Chains A and B, each alone.
Chain A
Amino acid sequence: MLEKFREIQAALETRPHLHRIGALFSETVLVEVDGEEIYLVFEKGHLVSVTPGPSKKTPWRFALVTDRAALEAFWQPVPAAGFHDIFALVKIGRARILGDMLALVKNLRFIKEVLALPRAARTEDAA
């Protein structure tokens, strides 16, 4: 799963519009997948590091806790209902969002599009 988020890191560098939208976003986000912790450090809309956990010393602003199968379904080009959006994942019980929700909502488009980058890549590959 770490490799997947490193792919996201590389893909983000090719999306200038996301750097603009995320220009004020400089936070650490924790993604926990089946208990595997991954820390995503954003700096002004760039993902500057993808670091494996566990870590009790790394402060994070908000966290997405989910499972591998849910993320694989989320990244499908046309995801099934419930797997198409991070809030929908929460609603169907396949994810939890912890921490500073307002920080997430203020940057919601940026975060949603960053997390969905593998889907965008698959969609573009299929085209």
Chain B
Amino acid sequence: MTVEAITGRYLTAEIAGRRQRIYFEEAGQGRPVLCLHTAGADTRQWRHILNDAEITCDHRIIAFDLPWHGKSLPPEGFQTEEYLLTTEVYMESVLKVAETLGLDRPVLAGCSMGGRIALQLAARHPERFSGFVAIEASDFQPAWYDIDWFHRPDAHGGEMGAALVSTNISPFAPEAERWNTLWMFMSSGPGVFRGDLSFYTRDDSLVGRLKDIDTAQTPVHLIVGAYDFTCTPEDARRTADAIPGATLSVMEELGHFPMSEHPAGFRPFFVDALARMQPAKTPEHAD
């Protein structure tokens, strides 16, 4: 029998003028690392990093469920709304969580749409963070599918979404973790995956901002899996090349949900990324 070191609590913050009750989990002490889940999923994707004692011995790992996801309820009045995530609300959500928790310039680590918003914040609010780890992240990904498939009255959007995203899970992933990863998509709220994909597949506002990211002040490291066919290594390379000073690692045996689908395979890449999150030395202090 074991009891994990992860603790879960709720915070309340006003985001876009509305009260949001947000669930977050954390473990460890030290440099704060704020972790963002993918579209259609939740904080459980980060369970293995949160439980990694060698990482949490000197990092405070924090992950939160965006409103509408996981254990964060939708806002009051949701029942008549169409959920559509936007860049502005997503950025404000991340900033408000960091502010409410009193995080001092955390590292921001996000996967997929979480990686996309991490790069947006690197361009627009770099002073609030000390570095950015953008996992399975790219400047823009138009949809090769119809996002409306995933919210319709005659079929289960979660099950269809899980079957779709299974395209992006590596065959090297342990079977149990493959299905744990898919379960989160199966159990997401109606229309939530679609609303996230609306942001992910329609908002191309990051493209022109990548050149503005100052990696001398806030390092940017991208990580991408070779089995990711939503954000391919070519997509990540194109994005990294557009950010002066950004670095990229390719994980040959992983897919689009690396921290969740294949924790052991992802771990060394994440540890390496955290080690890179140091500001560049000024010339007078260079070794």
Contact = CB atoms under 8 A, between A and B. Distances in A.
Interface string B160-172: 1011101100111
A82 to B, nearest CB: 7
Interface in B17-40: none
A91 B144 CA distance: 9
B159 to A, nearest CB: 7
A78 B255 CA distance: 13
Given A78-B172, A102-B149, A85 B162 contact: no
A106 B164 CA distance: 10
Contacts of B154: 106
A44 interface: no
A88 interface: yes
B68 interface: no
B163 A88 contact: no
B83 interface: no
B160 A106 contact: yes
Given A91-B229, A108-B163, A108-B164, A84 B170 contact: yes
A105 interface: yes
Main secondary structure of the interface of B (DSSP, over half): loop
Contacts of B226: 81
Interface residues of A, number: 17
Interface in A79-127: 79, 81-82, 84-85, 87-88, 91, 101-102, 105-106, 108-109, 112
B46 interface: no
Contacts of A82: 229
A85 B167 contact: yes
A81 B227 CA distance: 5
Interface string A44-85: 000000000000000000000000000000000111011011
Contacts of A109: 159, 162-163, 166
Nearest to B154: A106
Contact of A105 (B144, B149, B172, B227): B149
Interface of B: 144-146, 149, 154-155, 159-160, 162-164, 166-167, 170-172, 226-227, 229
